[in-house]
A and B are shown apart, each in its own frame.
Chain A
């Protein structure tokens, strides 16, 4: 701070005067007004800017941008290929699934046919066996019926015999004279009724 005071004491030049004189910095190296408006520096800035821009432009257009473009295109190609391959595999998987489904459906139909055949066969056997059994049962029943009819007929004949004998005896016991022919007719008529 001491230098500042001495400089001021020595007669500080006003910033405005310096600016009018075309100076951009004061005696201490500080800025006067806007350094951006200092014409003294502009040529230098423009020169180095043009140099920088030309370098950047050539580096970008000759090396960097074609390289990045190629890398991106290559990646895009790889992705497209991979997607195509994936789609191929997916189609294969779908067709494999279809084939499997078809095979399964076929197997199912075949199984159904086998079941139906087996069922029909079993039913035929069963029907046959049933018919046989029915016939046997019918034969047995007919035999039985015949035996029963025989037994009944015998029984009826016996009963008639017994009734005739009893009637004769009863008539005789009552003191009547039993005519065998009349008694038989009367018993037969009663038995019918």
Chain B
């Protein structure tokens, strides 16, 4: 506590360690070297845990194949039914071949989000690099599939035939812009939500040890920050599911556009 004796104003700031963004740092698991393309990092660890959790639920949980399901098998069936129904309802019956693809995205995001809520963990979905790849996968799939299935007819997605003729070019311009903004909003929505919540929790966590520095104001600040961490954590649990759901349902909506581009 050398700094505290030196300057008055800097004392409190130096005593409380604010590093809300440190949790997002990618570092090698073994050694201290630079992060190369194939380096085993904390990203690798938490993605591996995500994969293992998904295998645990969807493969090991259903290994008994019982007609009367166990608890874990019920959960796996619930996920299956939930996403399958979503694909069927939103994108239509002919989108069912893409169900495993949508299921992959949903389960990966869901488990990454929830594993990221474990204190001290690394949230892979809080990184733009990760969510951008997910969003670009959806965008490219949808665009390519649209052109393969409908050829140039896919462009009728942008030509709204139900609108009055003079409005159509303007609407087409807006539609094209919104089409290309899709992957951006799709990826930033997920990463932004995850990052913001985790950063806020970390900021409140930094306020929590206030009672060690000052028994005066600390008596108020410490309980309040702990309360705030609890509340935000509860919110984050909700957000973790909702963001996975939103990402998946938007994927289905985009799939519908590719399969049925005519308004």
Q: Taking beta carbons and an 8 Å cutoff, which residues of A are in contact with B?
A: 1-2, 4-5, 24-25, 29-31, 33-38, 40-53, 55-57, 59-61, 63-65, 67-72, 74-75, 78
A63: chain B residues at CB < 8 Å are 58-59
B39: chain A residues at CB < 8 Å are 44
B21: chain A residues at CB < 8 Å are 31, 33-35
Q: Which residue of A lies closest to B66 (CB)?
A: A71
Report whether B127 and A36 are in contact in the complex, using a CB–CB cutoff of 8 Å: yes
Nearest CB of B to A59, in Å: 6
- Complex CA distance for A161 and B65, rounded to whole angstroms: 133
Sample of 21 A–B contacts (CB below 8 Å): A4-B3, A5-B3, A29-B25, A31-B22, A35-B127, A40-B35, A43-B36, A44-B39, A45-B43, A45-B130, A48-B44, A49-B43, A49-B47, A56-B107, A60-B107, A65-B99, A68-B62, A70-B65, A71-B62, A71-B67, A71-B73
Interface residues as binary, B46-63 with A (CB distance below 8 Å gives 1, 0 otherwise): 011011001100110010
Report whether B26 and A41 are in contact in the complex, using a CB–CB cutoff of 8 Å: yes
Q: Which residue of A lies closest to B77 (CB)?
A: A68
- Complex CA distance for A70 and B34, rounded to whole angstroms: 47
Given known A59-B59, A67-B62, A78-B67, contact A36–B24 (CB-CB < 8 A): yes
- Complex CA distance for A64 and B77, rounded to whole angstroms: 10
B124: chain A residues at CB < 8 Å are 45, 49
Q: Does B38 contact A (CB under 8 A)?
A: yes
Q: Does B2 contact A (CB under 8 A)?
A: yes
Report whether A64 and B37 are in contact in the complex, using a CB–CB cutoff of 8 Å: no
- Complex CA distance for A45 and B132, rounded to whole angstroms: 11
Report whether B108 and A52 are in contact in the complex, using a CB–CB cutoff of 8 Å: yes
Report whether A68 and B80 are in contact in the complex, using a CB–CB cutoff of 8 Å: yes
Which 6 residue pairs are nearest across A and B when measured between Cβ atoms? A64-B58, A61-B100, A31-B21, A35-B24, A41-B26, A42-B129
Nearest CB of A to B93, in Å: 15
Report whether B65 and A67 are in contact in the complex, using a CB–CB cutoff of 8 Å: yes
A47: chain B residues at CB < 8 Å are 37-38
- Complex CA distance for A53 and B112, rounded to whole angstroms: 12
Q: Which of A38, A42, A63 has the most chain B CB atoms closer than 10 A to its own CB? A: A42
Q: Taking beta carbons and an 8 Å cutoff, which residues of B are in contact with A?
A: 1-4, 6, 14, 19, 21-22, 24-27, 34-39, 41, 43-44, 47-48, 50-51, 54-55, 58-59, 62, 65-67, 69, 73, 76-77, 80-81, 99-101, 103-104, 107-108, 124, 126-130, 133-134, 137, 191, 195
Report whether A60 and B103 are in contact in the complex, using a CB–CB cutoff of 8 Å: yes
A38: chain B residues at CB < 8 Å are 26
Given known A41-B129, A44-B39, A48-B41, contact A56–B26 (CB-CB < 8 A): no
B128: chain A residues at CB < 8 Å are 36-37
Cβ contact of B80, chosen from A31, A34, A65, A74, cutoff 8 A? A65
Report whether A52 and B37 are in contact in the complex, using a CB–CB cutoff of 8 Å: no
Report whether B2 and A2 are in contact in the complex, using a CB–CB cutoff of 8 Å: yes
Q: Which residue of B lies closest to A78 (CB)?
A: B67
Given A30-B19, A49-B43, 17 extra CB contacts under 8 A: A29-B27, A31-B22, A35-B24, A35-B26, A37-B128, A44-B39, A48-B41, A49-B47, A49-B124, A49-B130, A51-B47, A57-B100, A59-B55, A61-B100, A63-B59, A68-B76, A71-B66
B47: chain A residues at CB < 8 Å are 48-49, 51-52
B35: chain A residues at CB < 8 Å are 40-41, 44
B134: chain A residues at CB < 8 Å are 49
- Complex CA distance for A11 and B246, rounded to whole angstroms: 48
Nearest CB of B to A159, in Å: 119
A51: chain B residues at CB < 8 Å are 47
- Complex CA distance for A72 and B79, rounded to whole angstroms: 12
Report whether A64 and B108 are in contact in the complex, using a CB–CB cutoff of 8 Å: no
Report whether B104 and A53 are in contact in the complex, using a CB–CB cutoff of 8 Å: yes
Q: Which residue of B lies closest to A38 (CB)?
A: B26
A46: chain B residues at CB < 8 Å are 129-130, 133
Q: Which residue of B lies closest to A43 (CB)?
A: B37
- Complex CA distance for A18 and B198, rounded to whole angstroms: 25
Report whether B100 and A65 are in contact in the complex, using a CB–CB cutoff of 8 Å: yes
Q: Which residue of A lies closest to B69 (CB)?
A: A71
